[in-house]
Structures are given as structure tokens and as C-alpha cells.
Amino acid sequence: MVTEAARRRRVMVRPVMDWYAAVDGVDAVMLGGSTARGDADRWSDVEVGVFWQRPPTEAERLAVAGAADVRLVNVDGPPWDDHLYLGEPRPDGLLVEVAHTLTQTVENALDELLSGKPDGQVMQLAQGIIDGREVIGPRADLVARWQERVATYPRDLALAVVRYNGNIEKFWRWQMFHERDNPLLVAREFVRMTNQLLTVLYALNGRYSGHVLAFKRLDALDLPLAPPSLPTRLRAVFDRPAPEGAQTLHDLVEETFDLVERHLPEVDVAALRATFRSDRKPLD
């Protein structure tokens, strides 16, 4: 089901996509993110990927027809990121986040990723390609080929991601920060470990994830292999007093290790558990 917010955003951004697709040197233009998936809400911006044969010039990036305002976020790429505002100038217009990159850069990055070398940004790119819709441009078939390449999540990649992100260390630090009455650092530790936990679960389920924003809709995680009541329990980590939240997080990590043992027996889960369970006793 496509939300009304997604429909409206697709209509608004299509002239911008058509403009990019007609620029000499552009291979393909792709709609991404929640607008492409169809689950955009009133807070959602729009994501557009532009794949180039050559680096775009600053003049080309600034000359987008139909944009009320354009801001070049970075000049060193690839990728090169721009913010466009439709309807009204910033900050009131609809934000369109445009990621420009080279076709060859994508090819090289996918080669590395699919050989079992995890990289957060490239995994984010892979998921963006999977979500991509309304692809246009003279070489639009490129995106279909990339989507076919990343459709199967390599087991070697899952093993590498789980071995790295399953190394959840210094769990005890939440207690140190709690005793120091520092809720900011308690929350930071909970976010760090929860992000690692979810990245492991994504890999276990053959899903690409390289950024905490991949988890911004907890009720739409779509992870068949996961501890029961995962979204509710994740919220409890942050909603309850720190000792209760820590216990909930502890249980989720241990249950996730159980799943890894069952489905990825090549991983040395005993070593991951030893790291996670290591403790530091304060001196009296």
C-alpha cells in the first residue's frame, strides 16, 4: 500500500528526475527511500540517486529546473550530495536529498561488497538500490542489473558483518554512567549496542544495513529471524529506568547470539559472548 504522502512526493519530484535524466553524462536517475517504498509520511523527505558517466559540474548541480532552492552539501566526491527544495525555498519547501555518484564507482563498490567485505556506506547503497523505483535515463537498465546482483545476500558477507558487529564490548559502561548520573552517556551506550544488535539481525536475515537510520521505523523491521516482540522490547530499552533497560538489552543480545549459533554456526559465538559478558568491577 502506497501512502498519500508518498504519492504526492512522487508527483512533485518527477520533473526534477526528468531534468536530471536529460543532462548529458547522466546514465540513470532513481527514486529512493520511503517515497520509493511507498511508506513516506508527513515528515519524510525525498531521496534521488543520479548516476553519472563523469563527475557533475557545480553549475549542473545548481541549475536544476523546478527547484525553488539548491544547496551543495559537499564538493568532494563521489558521492556528491545536494539538497533541493521544491515548492518553497529552504527550509519550508519539500526537501529532496540528491546523491550524485559515478556509475563505475557503484560497480566497484558492489564488487567489493559482494565479495564479502562489509562497508556501512556500501551496504546502505545496496539497500537503496533494492528500494529504488521509477528509474529513468538512457542507461536505466543499469539499476535493474544492480538490483539483480544484490538480491541475494552473500553468506560470506553475513559472516563478516556478524563477526564484526557481534563484538559488543564494554556492556558494563552503562552502569558507570548511570552511577555518575549521566543519562546522556547511558543513552549513547544503549544506542551503540542496539545499533550493533540490529546490524547483526539484519545480516542474519540477509538484509543490508549500514546506518542507524535504517532502523527508524521499528514496527517495519521485517526480520523473521529475531527475538520475539523485538520492537516493543527495543522501545523498553530507552523508555524504562536504566537498570531495567539494560536488562532488556542484555536479554536481546543473548537471544540474538542464540540465533547466530543456530543459523551461522561458522561464527565463534562463544568468543562474542565472552566479550559481551566481560565485566569491570569498580574499586571501593
Residue found under cell 537471544: 255
CB atoms within 10 A of CB 188: 14
Looking at the structure, tell me whether residues 89 and 204 fall in a common domain: no
Summarize pLDDT for 160-202 with one digit per residue, the tens.
Answer: 999 999 999 999 999 999 999 999 999 999 999 999 999 999 9
Report the amino acid identity of residue 91: P
Would you say 246 and 194 are in contact if contact means Cβ atoms under 8 Å apart? no
Vertex 164, ends 211 and 233: CA angle to 5°? 60
Q: Alpha-carbon distance 29 to 98, whole Å?
A: 10
Please tell me whether residues 176 and 128 are part of one structural domain.
no
Q: What does 215-235 look like in DSSP terms, one character per residue?
A: GS-GGG---SSS-TTHHHHHH
| Cα dihedral 52/54/55/57 (nearest 10) | -100
* Same domain membership, residue 126 and residue 220: no
Considering only the C-alpha atoms of the chain, give the largest distance between any 2 of them, rounded to a whole number of Å: 70
- Using alpha carbons only, what angle is made at residue 92 by residues 90 and 94, rounded to the nearest 5 degrees? 85
- Position 284 in a domain: no
Band of residue 146 on the pLDDT scale cut at 50, 70, 90: very high
**C-alpha cell at position 9:** 512526493
Give residue 236's pLDDT.
97
**Is the pLDDT reported for residue 273 higher than 90?**
yes
| Residue finishing a domain among 152, 179, 197 | 152
Domain co-membership, 27 together with 145: yes
13 with 68, same domain? Answer: yes
Same domain, 16 and 142: yes
Residue 256 lies in a domain: yes
Q: Is residue 178 part of a domain?
A: yes
What's residue 211's pLDDT? 67
Q: Are residues 243 and 174 both part of a single domain?
A: yes
45 and 123 in a single domain? The answer is yes
Whether the model clears a pTM of 0.75, i.e. scores above it, the answer is yes
Question: Can you give the pLDDT at residue 191?
Answer: 95
Q: Are the CB atoms for 85 and 93 separated by under 8 Å?
A: yes
pLDDT at 280 over 90: no
Q: Domain containing 30 — which CATH number?
A: 3.30.460.10
Take residue 247 and report the three cell numbers written for it. Answer: 536488562
Are residues 13 and 129 located together in one domain of the fold?
yes
Q: Which of 105, 123, 152 is the last residue of a domain?
A: 152
* Predicted confidence (pLDDT) per residue in 91-134, tens digit: 899 999 999 999 999 999 999 999 999 888 899 999 999 999 99
Domains held by the chain: number: 2
| Distance of alpha carbon 66 from alpha carbon 84, whole angstroms | 10
Whether residue 175 sits in one domain with residue 75: no
The pLDDT of residue 201: 96
Q: What is the DSSP string of 75-139?
A: SS-SSEEEEEEESSSTTTSEEEEEEEEEHHHHHHHHHHHHTT---HHHHHHHHHHHH-EEEESTT
pLDDT, one tens digit per residue, over 11-43 is: 999 999 999 999 999 999 999 999 999 999 999
Mean of all residue pLDDT scores within the chain:
94
Look at the block and give the residue holding cell 523491521.
Answer: 221
User: Amino acid letter at 9?
Assistant: R
Position 49 scores a pLDDT of: 97
Domain containing 128 equals: 4-152
Domain membership flag for residue 282: no
Grid cell in block for residue 66: 523546478
Using pLDDT thresholds of 50, 70 and 90, give the confidence band for residue 66.
Answer: confident
- Which residue, of 152, 178, 201, is where some domain finishes? 152
Q: Are residues 104 and 189 in the same domain?
A: no
Same domain, 143 and 86: yes
Question: pLDDT tens across 189-241, in order?
Answer: 999 999 999 999 999 999 998 666 667 788 888 899 999 999 999 999 999 99
Whether 23 is covered by a domain: the verdict is yes
Per-residue confidence at 47, pLDDT binned at 50, 70, 90? very high
Residue 60 above 90 pLDDT? yes
